[in-house]
Structure 1
């Protein structure tokens, strides 16, 4: 009976890792944006990685915001929108 409750209420399941929640990467203005929503309290926090090769070296920036969304798909969409805005505003200065 205990295992039934664990399956129903998630007590026995492991949380997906951040790599399991990565969305499809998108190339925008020479930057690669990969949405990576973070599960939190039954919702998903807006998160993405922004990367670009600069001077022969791949630079990364992790974008995490306080915004929470009820679905992974909504969080991925919002992360792409926010990351595009950050790229437009900061460009390569994002990595300084």
Structure 2
């Protein structure tokens, strides 16, 4: 933990008014952004596939974007939509 704190506070004057901003930006630089991006893409693709399987593609994508893999459980837990009733065929013209 000491190593992380040293990296976060490197080059920051703790008495300056914008010290929090500099520490926050130093912490953001340490995050693996590429891995986070690709995991998010994976979650959305799986959410879209599960939504397609359950008849709710857009809902699967939205839940996967908002909740990640927990959104998959939400999509799987919802019942399938009922098919719309089709009207009876029109009578033939004579």
TM-score using structure 1 length: 0.32
TM-score using structure 2 length: 0.33
Bigger RCO (CA 8 Å, 6+ sep): 1
**Structure with more of its chain in strand, by fraction:** 1
**Structure with more of its chain in helix, by fraction:** 2
Which protein shows a greater Rg? 2
